[in-house]
């Protein structure tokens, strides 16, 4: 999570959406940078609403902060988790996807009792608006970085470029038609939210 106080902007770090590169590019000018622990670095909107928003409003007398986030196409997002969990440092651990096909990974993700290697949550749930009206005010597609960078350049008053960091190795991300159909049904909220990003926010 990055906080820019004067610009009244909070950037949530949705996992697997390039936020490590964004933090590297913007960290030197951010007023608050949360890198650890992962539960706070990758705080979803509900956690921001519960802990950070009240702190900003009550302790810091800041009544409104815009919230920005990036969302990745759902199959690509799961593919990024799958590839990341094939890395050597996870080999032999319950979260490793070594020796598991992507189709098997997604089937495990769709099961009622997800094994550790497939327990990665949902982007729609991460970004879900709260009953008190707190919501992501600027949401961008991971696959359309130009739009996101244009917004940040204007908001922060400087040109921004990103380097690729934390890139996983390539892997076969083939899904059977049956698995893809099930995924689109179970993750209907994610697919719908992603498709809505064709429209201006």
- Would residue 138 count as lying in a domain? yes
CA distance 32 to 82: 30
Domain count, the chain: 1
Annotate the chain with three-state secondary structure: CEEECCCCEEECCCCCCCHHHHHHHHHHHCCEECCCCHHHHCCCHHHHHHHHHHHHHHHCCCCCCEEEEEECCHHHHHHHHHHHCCCHHHCCCCCCCCCCCHHHHHHHHCCCCCCHHHCCCCHHHHCCCCCCCCCCCEEEECCCHHHHHHHHHHHHCCCCCCCCCCCCCCCCCCCCHHHHHHHHHHCHHHHHHHHHCCCCC
Is the CB of residue 108 less than 8 Å from the CB of residue 40?
Answer: no
Q: What is the distance of C-alpha 169 from the center of its chain?
A: 19
- Report how far residue 80's alpha carbon sits from residue 170's, in angstroms, rounded to the nearest whole number: 9
Flag whether 65 is in a domain. yes
Residue-range definition of the domain harbouring residue 112: 2-196
Strand partners of residue 49: none
Percentage of the chain surpassing pLDDT 70? 95
What CATH number does residue 178 fall under?
3.40.50.300
Write the pLDDT tens digit of every residue in 154-174.
999 999 888 766 666 778 999
Residue 189 covered by a domain: yes
* Across 90-105, average pLDDT: 96
Whether the per-residue pLDDT at 57 is higher than 90: the answer is no
- Write down the pLDDT at residue 165: 63
Residue 201 lies in a domain: no
Q: pLDDT band for position 30 (50/70/90)?
A: very high
Any domain includes 177: yes
Per the domain annotation, does 173 fall within a domain? yes
By C-alpha distance, which of 69, 65, 30 is closest to 49? Answer: 65
> Whole-angstrom Cα distance, residue 54 to residue 61?
10
Percent of the chain with pLDDT over 90: 81
In whole angstroms, give the CA distance from residue 53 to residue 3: 11
Confidence of residue 134 (pLDDT cuts 50, 70, 90): very high
């Amino acid at each position: 999570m990055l906080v820019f106080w004067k610009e009244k902007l909070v950037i949530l770090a949705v996992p697997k959406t390039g936020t490590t590169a964004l933090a590297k590019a913007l960290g030197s000018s951010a007023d608050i940078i949360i890198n650890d622990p992962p539960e706070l670095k990758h705080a979803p909107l509900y956690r921001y609403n519960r802990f950070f928003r009240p702190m900003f409003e009550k302790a810091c007398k800041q009544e409104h902060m815009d919230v920005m986030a990036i969302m990745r196409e759902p199959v690509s997002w799961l593919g990024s988790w799958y590839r990341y969990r094939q890395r050597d440092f996870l080999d032999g651990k319950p979260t490793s996807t070594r020796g598991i096909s992507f189709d098997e990974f997604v089937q495990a993700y769709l099961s009622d009792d997800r094994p550790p290697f497939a327990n990665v949550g949902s982007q729609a749930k991460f970004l879900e608006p709260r009953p008190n009206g707190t919501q992501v005010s600027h949401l961008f597609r991971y696959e359309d970085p130009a739009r996101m960078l244009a917004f940040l350049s204007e908001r922060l008053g400087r040109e921004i470029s990103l380097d690729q960091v934390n890139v996983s190795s390539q892997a076969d991300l083939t899904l059977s038609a049956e698995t893809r159909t099930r995924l689109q049904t179970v993750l209907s909220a994610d697919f719908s939210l992603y498709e809505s990003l064709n429209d201006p926010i």
